[in-house]
Structure formats: C-alpha cells, structure tokens
Amino acid sequence: MSSTAYRWVWDSNVKIFVTGGAGFIGSQYVRTVLSGGFPAFAGASVTVYDRLTYAGNLANLAPVEGRYTFVRGDVCDGRLLADVLPGHDVVLHFAAESHVDRSIDGAADFVRTNVLGTQTLLDACLTARIPKVIQVSTDEVYGTIAEGSWDESAPLAPRSPYSAAKAGGDLIARAYAITHGLPVSITRCGNNYGPYQHPEKVIPRFATNLIEGRHVPLYGDGGNVRDWIHVADHCQGIQLVAERGEPGEIYHIAGTAELTNLELTERILDALDAPREMIERVPDRKGHDRRYSLSDAKLRALGYAPEVGFEEGLAATIEWYVDNPSWWKPLRASMGAR
C-alpha cells in the first residue's frame, strides 16, 4: 500500500454508503445492518445509492423503510457522487449489471456500469477521502476450473462479458489501492440465493415457474457446477472484510454446497412436489463456464464461518417465494413469459 493510505478510525456512529442498496445482495446488507445484525456497526446511519434499474427495487427495503437515506443515482455520475459521498466512513460497492444472459445479448451496459462506474466511484472516494471501501465481486472472474479451488492468487480468465466487466472493475480497484493508497478491499463470492432475488436468476426463476405451473428451462446437459451460498452468509463475509480486511487485499467468500445445475433443479422440484417431467432441456448458454470453486481459507482465518446450511436455506427461500407472489409477480410480468 502507498504511504498515503488512509487510517481507519472506528466511530460509534458509522456512516455507511451502499451502492446498489436496493438490489438483491445490497438490500440484504442494508436490512441486516439496520436490524442490528452487525454489532460493530450498531447505530450506523445508511445511505442507499441506487439507480433503480429493473434489478433495483425499494420494496426490497420495506422491512427497514424510513430508517435509511435514499439517493437515486448512477455510479457513473461523478458530480452527484461528489455531492453525496463526503462524510461517509465506509463505502460498499454492490452496484453492478450481473446477469450473464443479458451480458451475452448486449455487453455495453455491463462495461459502462461495472468498469466505468467502478472507476467513477473510486475517484469520488479518493477525493472524499473515504476511510474504507469494499468492491463486491464474483468468482466468475476466474473463468472455469475442472478440479480443486481457486485461492486469491489465481489469475483472472473471465469468459463472459459480465465476468470480464467485473474483472475490469476489480483491476481498477486494485490499481487505485496501489497507485493512490485508496483503502479498498475486494471480495469475491460464489452463487448467491435467498429472498428478494430477481426472478431472472435460476433459483427464483425455477421456483416461480413451478409455482405458476410452467416448465423449468435447464441448459445443456445440466452438468455445470456451482457453489451456492446464502446471501446472509455472503453479507456476513463482506462485513468481516469491512471490519478486519486489509486495504488492497482480495478475500474469497465460498459457498456451502457444490451442485450440478441438474442436482439443483431436482432439489427445487422436490421442494415443490413437482415431477421430473417439468424439466425442459434447452440449448446451452454460449461460453457456459463448467465449474466454479473458491477456497476461502484467508477469510476463515479472520473468523468467518457460514451459518446457513444449504438444505434449510433453500427450503426457506422457496417458501419465501411461495408466500410472496405480490413481490415477484410484477417482476415476472415485466420479463414476459420466459
């Protein structure tokens, strides 16, 4: 780290700035911190900064309505960031275009938000002298791995426009840490699931399809492997990095269940008492990564341990979608019959 690195000073009234705080993972973080789930940030004030694209939804923050400050803004809007960032102690950068299928159809928004948006935000953090910044990223930046698990020194080899854009943002973050001494740490996580996840993603899409009596579209042979983590555990890992992580360092937050897509699909079918005939085989996604796997030994050495077992987490997630059609039905309608 550069000698100009800022010193992190704890305060009883931490001011937190969350980009993408109305999205799936960002809203989980905001709900948790404002509900007292992170004792180190008890009494914190939170600013949610979100553009409210199709994936941002203030209904995700209904349980903590009135307890945060909301700014509707784009991470590429440097002038607005310069106005609203100063005075905050921690910036958590969740905002991103994140759906691989959409990135295949059109990459421009992904490059704009995930690369230029990250650079614009980090510039604003540098000017405002923010003491702690977290860049939230993904295991997909590493590409695909046949066996074993990646540690934080693995080379980046992204294979989709989405993962390439996230890798670009990560490299910008690392460059700002080294060149400017910006106290930014990077987290990379496996596949998330949980409540409030947009129904374009596989678990809520398959669950809501089945609830509505639709088939579930399974790519290719269903043999692609993903490591699943509950969004609450992911946010616990991010919080640990916010509290104890070193500037310029990368931290993995691994999942708790490594499954093929077919195995995952069968578990969703079983949870909803649906027959195997509800599986519809569809052509594989272009450039579909075969397997992801992270080693999170570095984060566990700081005290991290996931708490949500996959079986209980999946059951609770599916039950949430069964119980909350008023949340997801409007989103499904905007997607069309897909």
From 140, 170, 200, 233, the catalytic residue: 140
Long-range contacts of 301-306 (CB under 8 A, 24+ apart): 302/240, 302/241, 302/244, 302/245, 302/251, 303/240, 303/244, 304/236, 304/237, 304/240, 304/253, 306/229, 306/230, 306/233, 306/236, 306/237, 306/256
From 139, 200, 233, 289, the catalytic residue: 139
Catalytic, 162? Answer: yes
Q: Are 271 and 315 in contact (CB under 8 A)?
A: yes
Closest CA to 127 of 6, 1, 2, 250: 6
Catalytic, 54? Answer: no
Catalytic, 243? Answer: no
From 29, 68, 162, 176, the catalytic residue: 162
Q: Which residues pair with 70 in a beta bridge?
A: 48
Closest CA to 149 of 287, 260, 290, 254: 254
Catalytic residue list: 139-140, 162
